[in-house]
């Protein structure tokens, strides 16, 4: 079942060196509480993300500082990956097995100097199976996953993960529907920004892209905490204009902590 959500515009950015740059997606739309992730199993199979207590405290303080200016609720989230990509292991396994078979048959005179024997078929089969096993292992390496998997599929996985998190962490349950999810997915090298319907139309696409750009500028320097803090700060600036803090009080409806998942 597809998630009941709509996502608006998307943008992508690269650094000059290409491969080392994170790709960025900014979405503006709405997400409903029943949003679910369509996946083969639990996504939480990524490596633990190492952030210090000081990093997490910095992010929490950035959220509190931003929310003092606005009635919106900002939820930063960091995940190791947004999909399992099981088919990547199969594809790399088959590809390496075919390459191994082609090489062995092409260079038959090298490894069969005394001619073909019935027992050589077993060695040929064993070599192909071994190549498939190595390919299966290579299919779990992040750089291989990014190389084999299309950008569109990874973007879709990140979108689904963000929509599921939007529902799971009650971001859609604020009284004025002013929650904003700011999610960084490390394996896919993507940033996904998902505002609730109460503020989606009040902030322009260019402003959301500025928030994403603030995060990416720090991620390129491998500063995850700094990137999230920069994005939260920039998000607070725009939200303070579109939904300023209420004069009679500014209730804190969602925790100010970083949501961190594998």
DSSP labels for 1-14?
---SEEE-------
Tokens, residue 220: 């390129």
Tokens found for residue 122: 């077993």
Q: Indicate the pLDDT class of residue 247, thresholds 50, 70 and 90.
A: confident
Average pLDDT over residues 25-49: 40
Higher-pLDDT residue of 30, 2: 30
Say how many C-beta atoms besides its own lie within 10 A of residue 143's C-beta. 10
What's the confidence (pLDDT) of residue 16?
A: 29
* Mean pLDDT confidence for 42-53: 61
3-state SS, residue 29: strand
List b or e across 178-203, with b for residues whose CB sees 16 or more CB atoms inside 10 angstroms.
bbbbbbbbbbbbbbbbbbbebbbeeb
- Tens of pLDDT, residues 179-234: 999 999 999 999 999 998 888 778 888 888 899 999 998 888 889 999 999 999 99
**C-alpha distances in angstroms, 124 versus 112, 115, 136?**
11, 14, 19
H/E run at residue 236 = helix 224-242
Mean pLDDT of 160-185: 90
- pLDDT of residue 35 exceeding 50, the answer is no
The answer to whether residue 253 scores a pLDDT higher than 90 is no
* pLDDT number for residue 84: 87
Determine contact, residues 160/119, Cβ cutoff 8 Å. Answer: no
Higher pLDDT pick, 103 / 14: 103
For residues 12-21, give the mean pLDDT. Answer: 33
Q: Is residue 26's pLDDT more than 70?
A: no
- Measure CA of the first residue to CA of the last residue in the chain; give whole Å: 23
Rounded Cα gap, residues 68 and 19, in angstroms: 38
Instruction: Give pLDDT, residue 17.
Output: 34
Helix (H, G, I), strand (E, B) or coil at 193: strand
pLDDT of residue 114: 57
Q: Which residue has the tokens 């929509």?
A: 163
Nearest to 207 by CA among 47, 108, 72: 72
Tell me: pLDDT of 101 over 90.
no
């Amino acid at each position: 079942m597809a998630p009941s959500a709509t996502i608006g515009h998307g943008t992508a950015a690269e650094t000059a060196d290409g491969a080392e740059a994170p790709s960025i997606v900014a979405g503006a739309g709405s997400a409903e509480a029943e949003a679910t992730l369509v996946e083969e199993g639990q996504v939480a199979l990524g490596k633990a993300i190492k952030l210090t207590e000081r990093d997490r405290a910095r992010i929490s303080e950035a959220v509190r500082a931003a929310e003092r200016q606005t009635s919106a609720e900002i939820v930063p989230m960091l995940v190791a990956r947004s999909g399992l990509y099981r088919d990547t292991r199969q594809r790399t396994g088959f590809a390496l097995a075919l390459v191994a078979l082609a090489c062995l048959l092409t260079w038959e005179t090298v490894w069969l100097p005394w001619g073909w024997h019935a027992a050589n078929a077993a060695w040929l089969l064993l070599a192909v199976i071994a190549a498939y096993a190595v390919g299966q292992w290579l299919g779990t390496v992040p750089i291989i996953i990014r190389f084999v998997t299309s950008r569109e599929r990874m973007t879709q996985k990140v979108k689904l993960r963000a929509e599921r998190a939007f529902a799971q962490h009650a971001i859609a349950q604020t009284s004025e529907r002013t929650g904003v999810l700011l999610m960084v997915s490390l394996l896919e090298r993507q940033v996904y920004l998902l505002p609730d319907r109460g503020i989606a139309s009040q902030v322009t696409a260019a402003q959301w892209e500025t928030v994403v750009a603030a995060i990416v500028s720090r991620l390129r320097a491998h500063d995850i905490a700094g990137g999230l803090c920069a994005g939260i700060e920039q998000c607070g600036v725009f939200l303070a204009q579109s939904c300023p803090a209420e004069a009679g009080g500014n209730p804190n409806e969602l925790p100010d902590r970083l949501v961190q998942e594998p």
